[in-house]
Amino acid sequence: PVFDGDALKSAKVVAKGLPASPGAATGQVVFHADEAEDWVADGKKVVLVRIETSPEDLAGMNVAEGILTARGGMTSHAAVVARGMGKCCVSGAGSVKINYKERTILADGITFKEGDWISLNGTTGEVYEGQIATKEAELSGDFGELMKLADKTARLSVRTNADTPHDSKVAREFGAVGIGLCRTEHMFFGEGKIQAMREMILAENEQGRRKALEKLLPIQREDFEGIFEAMHDLPVTVRLLDPPLHEFVPHDDKGQQEMADLMGITLKEVKEKVEDLSEFNPMLGHRGCRLGNTYPEISEMQARAIIEAALNLKKKGVNAHPEIMIPLTGTLAEMKMQEEIVRNTAEKVFEETGDRIDYLVGTMIEIPRAALTADEIAQSAEFFSFGTNDLTQMTFGYSRDDAGKFLPVYLKKNILKVDPFQALDQTGVGQLVKMAVKKGRKTRKNIKLGICGEHGGEPTSVEFCHRVGLNYVSCSPFRVPIARLAAAQAVARKKAEKAAKKAAKKGKKASKKK
């Protein structure tokens, strides 16, 4: 939805953050995800207000009209998830002071209590006092024809980042030709799933972890079946578990007590485990392929769930094309170890079922070292998907969740021309992408190359991807039409540049003759 123009004229702006996910939202302030669910169940409209969001807030984010966070940039958890859901989101509103204990927000000298109405403009990043009327955005009848023309012109194909059958269907309706990123960690936060995940985390040995993973296997398999079915005949890139394990455990006393009661252990034991999982810099810590190589049974379970799901659907006449993606690879040895786990598991499933499917194993290129040694990694990886959110973070040395504190100043003072988390930095990060493309193709000529960071839906970044020769871009479902149009514009611009050069060359020859 968008705001009604007349209603917006009299609205009071109380804060401004980043336009993390477009659209308009109006609702009553709630501070916790579980309470958002309760309020919505009672027929209320809510805006979820958090200092920052984490995966355990997913259910509340899903039911909220919009999301407001005090911290976080354009690629923060709130921003990425909201775009995937098609939810309005304003992130990094640093002037907003959130007090969970008092259940209040202080913005522009005004105190908002839980239950008070606020409105968000995800297109401008503005936060308004009170309730503002909204209306559905309108598309002209020419939209479909324009998209058909764009697809005929474009060389790049456009996939989507989707973690649920619903998001997959929405993206397909918008013209996505596959999934470029399916984040498996989001699947673990559904009802009845998080407990099994926490049992696995709390297990003291491999035997205990495998016992918990046996409970997770059918759940994951069912999730994959839903997504593969929604994407019948189209490729689906599934990223194995990426975040650090501390994201799956509660960090507040109430949540930890509930976890202790469910697990039949003491609160002290839960607190000790949570403390043990904490890291000084978790985004560079025990996550991604490092988790999979430390606890190979996790990768085994996920690979089995993917392959079994594809085989189950094959019996029903649904063609699944899984591409299994290893996250956070930095060395060939890391990649090889994970590839071996995936392929050995797949072969076991093929033997057990007496049937086979085709699948690919590849990796995300999100660590600078992976880009620099892409020729080595391509010995094992059948595809690269550039995770430009983390690649930007690690190349600049900017925390994407904290950069909101200084990026507005950098942009205002012209230290940076654009926010590198919104538009791909072509002279720095882009050169790593370009290098990895060249090195990867040198080793493996037919390597499939794509991008799955949020840059995949930004027009200047899409044009860059076209120029360096990627096969596809992948973005949030609601950005798919923008990416399709940008892919066509990249071709048209290239043709125009060639024509201009040709004309200039002819002009020079003509002037020489005179």
Catalytic annotation, residues:
77, 452
Question: How far is Cα 314 from Cα 308, in angstroms, rounded to an integer?
Answer: 10
Task: Give the position of tokens 């040694």.
Answer: 373
Q: How far is CA 167 from CA 90, 185, 427, in A?
A: 21, 15, 33
- Bridge partners of residue 324, in order along the sequence: 238, 361
- Judge whether 299 and 324 are in contact, CB under 8 Å: no
- Residues 240 and 338: their CA atoms lie apart, in Å, by 10
Q: Which residue's entry shows tokens 């309760």?
A: 38
Note the helical H segments in 239-382. 253-263, 267-277, 289-294, 296-315, 332-353, 368-372, 374-377
Contacts for 74 with CB less than 8 Å, ≥ 6 apart: 18, 20, 91, 400, 419, 421, 422, 454
Q: Where are the alpha helices (DSSP H) in 139-186?
A: 143-153, 165-173
Got the DSSP string for 26-77?
A: EEEEE-SHHHHHHHHHTT--EEEEESS--GGGHHHHHHSSEEEESS--TTSH
Q: What are phi and psi of 424, to 5 degrees?
A: -60, 130
Token pair recorded at residue 102: 């008092």
Q: What is the DSSP letter of 12?
A: P
Question: With the C-alpha atoms ordered 331, 335, 337, 338, is the resulting torsion angle positive or negative?
Answer: positive
Indicate the DSSP class of residue 292.
H
Alpha carbon distance 381, 123 (integer Å): 38
Q: How far apart are CA 383 and CA 393, in angstroms?
A: 22
From the centroid of its chain, how far is CA 303?
Answer: 20
Query: Which residue from 138, 126, 9 is spatially nearest to 66, judged by alpha carbons?
Result: 126
What's the rounded Cα separation, in Å, for the pair 163 and 184? 7
